[in-house]
Amino acid sequence: MTKVTIEVNGKKVSKDVPDHTILSVFLRDSLNLTGTHVGCDTSQCGACVVHVDGKSIKSCSTLTVDINGLKVTTIEGLVKDGKMHPMQEAFKKMHGLQCGFCTPGMVMSAIDLLQNKKNPSDTEIRKWLEGNICRCTGYQNIVAAVKEAASKM
């Protein structure tokens, strides 16, 4: 057991966790933040992407104790004053999702892309999203959504 203190979506949480607790499990089961999805559970599909200190990572392959003292942002943390994040708005507007399973990871990953590159080309968007797999194969509209968000952010 280790006592961890992590800032999740702007709020500090302190909890005792078994050392082998995976971050995605901690977010979903201990904090009830079920917006972070788990697909492959072995760092391949990107459904579990969250931000740690502003950078996108796969929460299914990260230990909770490993990020003790850091800041985590999940899909739930994007809404400000009841308003969706421009990336969420863009996914909605451009039909960037079908079943929605991959969407939280796509959105978190795409936001990190725009932090690195303001106006990415289609190729750059596709290359960046290599780690995010969509079973509904909605990639065209996902790319269109990221472009739309880039024009608004």
Ligand X SMILES: Cc1cc2nc3c(=O)[nH]c(=O)nc-3n(C[C@H](O)[C@H](O)[C@H](O)COP(=O)(O)OP(=O)(O)OC[C@H]3O[C@@H](n4cnc5c(N)ncnc54)[C@H](O)[C@@H]3O)c2cc1C
Which residue ranges make up the site for ligand X (CB under 6 A)? 43-44
Q: Which residues 6+ apart lie within 8 Å of 63 measured at CB?
A: 19, 20, 21, 22, 23
Q: Which does 65 bind (CB under 5 to 8 A by kind): ligand FES, ligand X, another protein, none?
A: another protein
Dihedral of the CA atoms 33, 84, 120, 10 (nearest 10)? -50
Residues 27-66, one symbol each (x = binds another protein by CB under 8 A, - = not), give --------------xxxx-x--x-----xxxx--xxx-xx
- Please state the closest distance from residue 133 (CB atom) to ligand FES, in A: 7
Residues 76-115, one symbol each (x = binds another protein by CB under 8 A, - = not), give ---------------------------------x--xx--
- Does position 38 interact with ligand FES (CB under 6 A)? The reply is yes
Q: Which of 125, 108, 115, 118 is nearest to 33 (CA)?
A: 108
